[in-house]
Structure 1
């Protein structure tokens, strides 16, 4: 007889019927919980969000990312279209150059250009000089800001500026109220008097150029 049965051996003297000892078994509702397991479950519940909430959060993140990418793209476009120019543009006379080594034009090129303009009673204050090697602006970008009526390109590829027309060097052509003259670059002009004469002859056809 085990200890628990000995504790209840007095019962036959109280009850006339046979008695049977049955161990009490706790119901599933009375089973003691494991504190460690509870903490673990609670921690998982805190760390996990409902699926719908996670999906909604992910969608918002994607939308915000698209907005950010578009904003950066627009910002880059603005920077690409930005440009600086030298001169005061009093006569709406746009001069395009391509100087890779300097912000504006070299001193020797500046002297040559100054003398060419002076021959037509113009100065650097009458023109706007844009170094196209320092910007990705198109001709439309330049036009919106400078409103040129005359354009002289010194060795700049006009097609890359978004101007689809075919030009001949030193042959002025008027396109939508803008007179274009295509010239060789300054390096070629320095060493070739024939090219200088061709440029000067073409410039004389501009309304703003008084020879």
Structure 2
């Protein structure tokens, strides 16, 4: 019986009708391409390698992307006050025991505002003891004060440079005067006299 093996090209064409290519594995190169998935979510790229004629797929590990925290917006300070602030005059007192001051301190304040012809409609009165972290800019932004009378509130508490007592100073277009708290001022004739001389300027 004759052998069925043949090397005749015409005979081989009868059995192999498609093109045949020979690919040597040692000439294959590593390549990288993204894997397309149907999901709309972004997917990490993968590395595809041909190792010993076997395809090995290794996912690429991407570093975690951490979103930087957004800065918090500082909330504007609000203040509880007495009066209507129609003339934008701010009176600051500093008393942790009383709403305004002791009886003697309140009486002295009444005399002072009456002497310079102010009424409760003209000014805003704030007890700074309730807002100890507030600075001048916070108060000015809220009240738009053209004048500040500070009883027992010191410049450094408001974030300002040191200022002389019982004398008007000007800061950012506002006139300010600093003196003792009302209760102590009532028993200090010298300070009262100096303060009164300065307050005459606003009559």
TM-score, with structure 1 as normaliser = 0.58
2:75 match: secondary structure? helix
Partner in structure 2 of residue 106 of structure 1: 101
TM-score, with structure 2 as normaliser = 0.60
Greater fraction of residues in strand: 2
Residues 1:187 and 2:180 aligned together: no
Answer yes or no: is the 8 Å Cα contact 1:83–1:137 preserved in 2: no
How far residue 63 of structure 1 moved from its aligned partner, in angstroms, is 4.1
- Structure 2 gaps of 5+ residues are 1-43, 46-60
Distance of aligned partners of 1:185 and 1:100 in 2 relative to their CA distance in 1, 3 Å threshold: same
How far residue 177 of structure 1 moved from its aligned partner, in angstroms, is 2.5
Of residues 149, 152, 162, the one that matches 1:152 is 149
Question: How many Å separate the matches in 1 of 2:75 and 2:136?
Answer: 15
- Structure 1 gaps of 5+ residues are 1-50
Answer yes or no: is the 8 Å Cα contact 1:98–1:154 preserved in 2: yes
Count residues in correspondence: 145
Of residues 78, 83, 99, the one that matches 1:82 is 78
RMSD: 2.8
Of residues 114, 119, 125, the one that matches 1:118 is 114
Question: How many Å separate the matches in 1 of 2:75 and 2:156?
Answer: 21
Partner in structure 2 of residue 45 of structure 1: none
How far residue 180 of structure 1 moved from its aligned partner, in angstroms, is 1.5
How far residue 93 of structure 1 moved from its aligned partner, in angstroms, is 0.9
Question: How many Å separate the matches in 1 of 2:102 and 2:146?
Answer: 26
Question: How many Å separate the matches in 2 of 1:148 and 1:201?
Answer: 22
Greater fraction of residues in helix: 1
Residues 1:130 and 2:161 aligned together: no
Answer yes or no: is the 8 Å Cα contact 2:101–2:182 preserved in 1: no
Answer yes or no: is the 8 Å Cα contact 1:172–1:181 preserved in 2: yes
Partner in structure 2 of residue 12 of structure 1: none
Distance of aligned partners of 1:107 and 1:101 in 2 relative to their CA distance in 1, 3 Å threshold: closer
Answer yes or no: is the 8 Å Cα contact 1:117–1:123 preserved in 2: yes
Partner in structure 2 of residue 178 of structure 1: 174
1:78 match: secondary structure? coil
